[in-house]
Amino acid sequence: MTGDDGSGPRADADGGGHPAGDDTEDGAGDQQESVTDGPYAAVHTRPEGTATVARMALTAAEADYAGIVVRNHGDADAVPADPSEREHGDPADGAYVPAAVADAYDVDVVPAVEIRTDDRGQAAELLSRYRDERVVVCVHGGPLNRWAVEDPRVDVLAHPTRGEGDLNHVLVKAAARNGVRLEFDLSRMLRRTGGERVRAVRGLRKQREIVAHYDAPFVVSTDPTSHLQVRSPRALRAVGETVSFEPDRIDAGLREWGRLAARNRERLGEDFIAPGVYRGRYEEVD
């Protein structure tokens, strides 16, 4: 189910979540339907990762993804460039032209960022800056988890239990109230062994239970930094069963990235004022 704000797929009592409903009115939902009818991979590219945006897009297309979300940390940013400024995207510095990559590989390319800092003041400044520059804004999980879930301008709290991060009832309830998606990061299940993998599975199960209890919105990813780490949606459905995630709930979490991008692109438009309110939408009647 969705919350009153239509904020995302919600976890239900069996630990899954239902695909989100439309956020918009007057036909805008039709545009979202066409954009978000497939899963998205949230990735890290050069200079933070080893692959270019183009290489990630190619791999994602081959793995049956509908799009990629380029979510480098701000201190290793992949900068979306205007086509008029760069003839060729994806040089070593990570700059890329989203439309050019999308056209070349027939996948959606979503400019995003993951804010990483332990300083609340700096995080607030970065959020204000990136909110108008990037389609999707994530916050790196850690000491600022509570700050992140209490600010509705944050789209995603990334890997909230990694490192010093913690996720409890208070934080998940705030995330549900403010429409902040909580990321289920499957990377440690896929790329760790032994005790580390066991702890990762235990943490994800705990997260699933508490997210389900508060019907909080969520996304799913594997946080790849290389095209070799991209796993197909089919493979992730099988991985999800390890933490009692139904396959269709994994799909819902992967699709939510695209749905979120569609909503935010609309909000970044010049005519957007608030959900359902647009400048110049209606003519005056004498």
Average pLDDT, the chain: 84
Instruction: Identify the domain containing residue 221 by its residue range.
Output: 28-268
The per-residue pLDDT for range 216-234, each reduced to its tens digit, is 999 999 999 999 999 999 9
CATH of the domain at 146: 3.20.20.140
| Helices 247-268 and 28-35, packing angle to 10 deg | 130
pLDDT at site 81: 87
Whether residue 147 lies inside any domain: the answer is yes
Whether residue 126 lies inside any domain: the answer is yes
Whether residue 12 lies inside any domain: the answer is no
Q: How many Cα neighbours within 13 Å face the side chain of 48?
A: 21
Residues of the chain with pLDDT > 70, as a percent, come to 79
Whether residue 236 lies inside any domain: the answer is yes
Whether residue 151 lies inside any domain: the answer is yes
Whether residue 285 lies inside any domain: the answer is no
The per-residue pLDDT for range 118-173, each reduced to its tens digit, is 999 999 999 999 999 999 999 999 999 999 999 999 999 999 998 777 899 999 99
Whether residue 210 lies inside any domain: the answer is yes
Number of domains forming the structure of the chain: 1
Q: Which residues of the chain have a pLDDT value below 70?
A: 1-8, 10-36, 84-92, 270-286
pLDDT at site 21: 39
pLDDT at site 286: 42
pLDDT at site 11: 57
Whether residue 67 lies inside any domain: the answer is yes
